[in-house]
């Protein structure tokens, strides 16, 4: 990715007009899932490409420096060497997109990747992950500390209360402060879509996050009861498309699975 996007002024008139047609989105999701998947060598190519979009992640209470070392080794060598040779992909530099850890483990990840001789970025969750309910001052300091320790991408989580109560200006202001605290690090805003109440709220939260300067918008923390779904992904991608048409800024989409996440292609 290039330098982060700066965002735009808050446009509440745009937000107030939004109303997502849920039945239409659900029908579209069914159509997409019914499509025939790619086959044979094309399937292998797409799977290899998907590996390069993964943020290899550990967010466990029992993380240790040795766990982080093993994770970083796996990030550098995500596919067995014999398989890569069989596919004629040996030496092509296939790694994961990033390693993602808690702020307290950023130093361990930076150190392990440096020792491994690779430049895979280190991402770190912040802002009271996964609930986002800690004091704003604490959340901002958490971002700054992670960046100081070497994280080049910060995964923030929004305060869902602001969405559920329609406090769009307050949400915009918080994310703008997150953007400033990130400095030159990329900002990925986690929406926790399973806790936003409606697809309309998903669209609005997506748009606010992009206006506020997010480089990525992400479905979920992986800790909610409901995480990524096809309908949610469609709504977020359409918000990305609309934002690009209006501003010319390309934002990236990030989907959280059970154990890892991948970067989707930018809408253009």
Q: What class, spelled out in words, does domain 6-35+123-256 have in CATH?
A: alpha beta
The pLDDT of residue 91 is 86
Q: Is the pTM of this model over 0.85?
A: yes
Q: Decide if 218 contacts 255 (C-beta within 8 A).
A: yes
Domain ranges of the chain: 6-35+123-256, 36-119
The 10s digit of each residue's pLDDT in 199-231 is 999 999 999 999 999 999 999 998 999 988 999
Q: At what angle do helices 136-148 and 168-182 cross, to 10 degrees?
A: 30
Q: Decide if 108 contacts 152 (C-beta within 8 A).
A: no
**Spatial distance between the Cα atoms of 230 and 215, rounded to a whole number of angstroms:** 21
Positions of the chain with pLDDT under 50: 257-268
Q: Decide if 239 contacts 201 (C-beta within 8 A).
A: no
Q: Where are the alpha helices (DSSP H) in the chain?
A: 12-17, 22-34, 40-51, 65-76, 81-86, 106-115, 136-148, 160-164, 168-182, 199-211, 230-247
The pLDDT of residue 260 is 37
Q: Decide if 191 contacts 217 (C-beta within 8 A).
A: yes
The pLDDT of residue 35 is 82
């Amino acid at each position: 990715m290039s330098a982060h996007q700066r965002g735009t002024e808050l446009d509440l008139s745009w937000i107030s007009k939004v109303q997502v047609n849920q039945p239409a989105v659900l029908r579209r999701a069914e159509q997409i899932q019914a499509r025939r998947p790619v086959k044979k060598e094309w399937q292998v190519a797409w799977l290899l490409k998907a590996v390069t979009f993964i943020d290899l992640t550990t967010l466990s209470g029992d993380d240790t420096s040795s766990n982080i070392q093993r994770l970083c080794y796996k990030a550098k060598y995500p596919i067995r060497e014999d398989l890569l040779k069989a596919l004629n992909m040996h030496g092509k530099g296939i790694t994961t997109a990033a390693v993602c850890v808690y702020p307290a483990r950023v130093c361990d990840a930076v150190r392990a990747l440096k020792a491994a001789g690779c430049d895979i970025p280190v991402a770190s969750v912040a802002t009271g992950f996964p609930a986002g309910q800690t004091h704003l001052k604490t959340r901002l300091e958490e971002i700054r500390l992670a960046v100081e320790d070497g994280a080049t991408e910060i995964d923030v989580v929004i305060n869902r209360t602001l969405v559920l109560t329609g406090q769009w200006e307050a949400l915009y202001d918080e994310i703008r402060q997150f953007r400033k605290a990130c400095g030159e690090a990329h900002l990925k805003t986690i929406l926790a879509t399973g806790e936003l109440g409606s697809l309309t709220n998903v669209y609005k939260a997506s748009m606010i996050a992009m206006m506020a300067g997010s480089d990525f918008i992400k479905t979920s923390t992986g800790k909610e009861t409901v995480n990524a779904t096809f309908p949610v992904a469609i709504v977020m991608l359409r918000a990305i498309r609309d934002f690009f048409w209006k501003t010319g800024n390309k934002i990236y989409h990030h989907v959280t699975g059970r154990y890892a996440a991948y970067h989707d292609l930018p809408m253009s």
